[in-house]
Amino acid sequence: MKIKQICLGIIFCLMCLMVLAGCQMEATETTAPPSEPPASETPPYALPQGQSVTGESIFQVSTVDELLAAIGNNRVLSLSEGVYDLSLATGYGTASGENWYWQESYDGYELVISGINGLRICGNVEKTEILTQPRYADVITFEDCSGITIQNLTLGHSPEPGLCAGGVVYLDGCEEVKIEDSYLFGCGIIGLQAYNSKAITVSNSHIYDCSQKAVQLNSCNDVRLEDCKIHNNGSDFYGGLFQVETSKGFAIVNCDIYENEAACLISSSYSQQVNLLGSEVRDNTFTQCLFDAVGYSPIVDKCSFDSNADPLPFGQLPALNTEGKPLTRDDIEAMQREKAKYEGPIEAAPVELDETVNEDGLREVTVSTVDEFLAAIGSDTVIKLKSATYDLSTATDYGAYGTDYYYWNDAFDGPSLIISGVSNLSIIAEEGTVIAAIPRYADVLHFVNCDNLRLSGFTAGHTEEPGSCAGGVLNFENCWGIDIEDCHLYGCGILGIQAYCCSDIAVKNTEIYDCSQGAIALYTVMDAKFENMDIHDCMTPEISLHDCMDIIYEGELIEGGGGSFCIKDGKAIALVYR
């Protein structure tokens, strides 16, 4: 989200308007006077404003510019009939608002709505369309939003020749999202994509003509499609019609699924409680199987399957009925459709933790198992690891959605743990403690959007198994205030420490060894210090820097913003290519 500065005069005018509106509401039930839209480079519009029974501000919208200008918290945008081509907005690709901006997408720009709470966009489903022209752009993206409703709208790419590489609706870090009575269509490769999001419902809607798949989820919790029609989507080159990775609680309930083409109906990877209930699956072409699941079996009940070109019902794991019994091909063929009810994902019992509050007012938790370690992750917390081997793949929820502070991301050959959005977290281990990951493409510990991290006393790497790795050991992304001390970071693992867009890093008394692509790689990092390091048996050059500043290794400033450096006699020596 890009923040705009608003002058005192405008603030004063807005305050006056708010006071005037409050007075008029007390005296009469007539609509409040027009209010100013959010600060934006888009020309301002006087948008008629009213109040809903829930206290939301209602804006009547008839143009793309008015749509953008009205975006804000706790608002209803009521769109008049017509086509809203986002590519024709004033300032397309350059303008931005307080809660929206344009993101470049190769052949144009896509609209990103960011940091909004309580926004409903509605119209007339048959006569109100939101479109975009660039083939690589998603039609609309929501990031870090909550309480979003899309209602009675048609969304897709403008009908022009050529294939698309962008989807329709993309959700990133969102929760409480509803898509109701709407049409999501191709040209668009995927109708709904969601990453690290939860509590999403698509109801009474159509997803059709998308060239790859209908729905793709990664690291999500509680996503459901209810009473929808899913038709004429897909290609046998792109996996499942519904693709679910490292998620929990995905349900297709009372839907009609017909005339689609895909390798399989549902492809799920390390995803718990994937459900197909009360739905009709007919006249589809599945070139591999109906259900292709890794890690956990899908649940199928009260469905009918008719005239589908599928060579096998199951891939690696069979589907289960609601009682947990494996289904056979005969069970699938004999199943009859009945209306089903879905109550949502079943939550596991909370993990009992040994926790206290220390003298600094921080939560202090002592753990001895992987489940306890994961449950303890949070802000203002000190986690004390008892001496043990913590194999992350033994977690009860391995691969499924975690908590507000961690989730799993599918790393090709298995889930990778990502700790996200924590402040003031310390992980301190007793001697002999090992944190290990099995998937060769997974980082052992990956931190995103965190600050004030302290990691001390443990050994971390991939389990000692045959084969080379493609994942690292410690990975930091958009973090600051990182303190690593007395750790042992080893391969199999391509790099001991990776950091992207980070600052204020201090690494002391730490060993990095046996890593196949070097020891340290920093990208756009400011202020990092490495003291008393023991780097050995790693591929050279051991250190690589890209657009960095103020990087100090063993008391000496490494000059320049980038370069490759070999470790010789405990010093970082610049590698000069000739």
Per-residue pLDDT of the chain (578 residues; tens, 9 = 90+): 333 333 333 333 333 333 333 333 333 332 233 333 333 343 344 455 666 656 678 999 999 999 999 999 999 999 999 999 999 999 999 999 999 999 999 889 999 999 999 999 999 877 999 999 998 999 999 999 999 999 999 999 987 655 678 899 999 999 999 999 999 998 889 999 999 999 999 999 999 999 999 999 999 999 999 999 999 998 867 789 999 999 999 999 999 999 999 999 999 999 999 999 999 999 999 999 999 999 999 999 999 999 988 778 998 899 999 999 999 999 999 999 999 999 999 888 899 999 999 999 999 999 999 999 999 999 999 999 999 999 999 999 898 888 889 999 888 788 999 999 999 999 999 999 999 998 888 999 999 999 999 999 999 998 765 456 678 999 999 999 999 999 999 987 799 999 999 999 999 999 999 999 999 999 999 999 999 999 999 999 999 999 999 999 999 998 667 889 999 888 888 876 54
pLDDT at 45: 43
State the sign of the Cα–Cα–Cα–Cα dihedral 394, 399, 402, 406: positive
Neighbours of 481 (CB within 10 A): 16
- What is the secondary structure of 316-339 as a DSSP string? SS--B-TTSPBPPHHHHHH-----
Establish whether the linkage from the previous residue to 541 is cis, with ω within 30° of 0: yes
Contact 17, 46 (CB under 8 A): no
State the sign of the Cα–Cα–Cα–Cα dihedral 430, 432, 438, 439: positive
Strands (E), 459-509: 459-462, 474-477, 480-485, 488-490, 497-508
pLDDT at 162: 57
What's the distance, CA 551 to chain centroid?
Answer: 31
State the sign of the Cα–Cα–Cα–Cα dihedral 129, 52, 175, 114: positive
pLDDT at 412: 79
Token pair 């400033």 is found at 557
Strands (E), 337-450: 354-357, 363-367, 381-385, 389-391, 406-410, 415-420, 423-429, 434-437, 445-448
**Amino acid type, 3:** I
Whole-angstrom Cα distance, residue 459 to residue 554? Answer: 22
pLDDT at 322: 94
Whole-angstrom Cα distance, residue 217 to residue 219? Answer: 7
pLDDT at 465: 57
Q: Which residues, listed in sequence order, are joined to residue 528 by a DSSP beta bridge?
A: 505, 551
pLDDT at 387: 98
pTM of the predicted structure, to 2 decimals? 0.83
Q: Is 142 helix (H, G, I), strand (E, B) or coil?
A: strand
pLDDT at 126: 77
What's the distance, CA 530 to chain centroid?
Answer: 32
Whole-angstrom Cα distance, residue 569 to residue 465? Answer: 31
Whole-angstrom Cα distance, residue 81 to residue 407? Answer: 41
pLDDT at 446: 97
Q: Which two tokens stand for residue 318?
A: 């069979």
Using a 10 angstrom Cβ sphere, with 0-12 exposed, 13-18 middle and 19 or more buried, the burial of residue 419 is buried
Whole-angstrom Cα distance, residue 228 to residue 231? Answer: 10
Whole-angstrom Cα distance, residue 328 to residue 333? Answer: 9
Nearest CA among 218, 185, 554, 139 for reference residue 412: 218
Q: Which two tokens stand for residue 106?
A: 């190769």
pLDDT at 253: 98
Q: What is the dihedral of CA 299, 303, 305, 306, to 10 degrees?
A: -170
Give the total residue count for the chain. 578
Q: Which two tokens stand for residue 127?
A: 């006569």
Q: Is 561 helix (H, G, I), strand (E, B) or coil?
A: coil
Contact 553, 559 (CB under 8 A): no
**For the chain, how big is the Rg over CA atoms in Å?**
26
214: alpha, beta or left? (left if phi > 0; alpha if psi -120 to 50): alpha
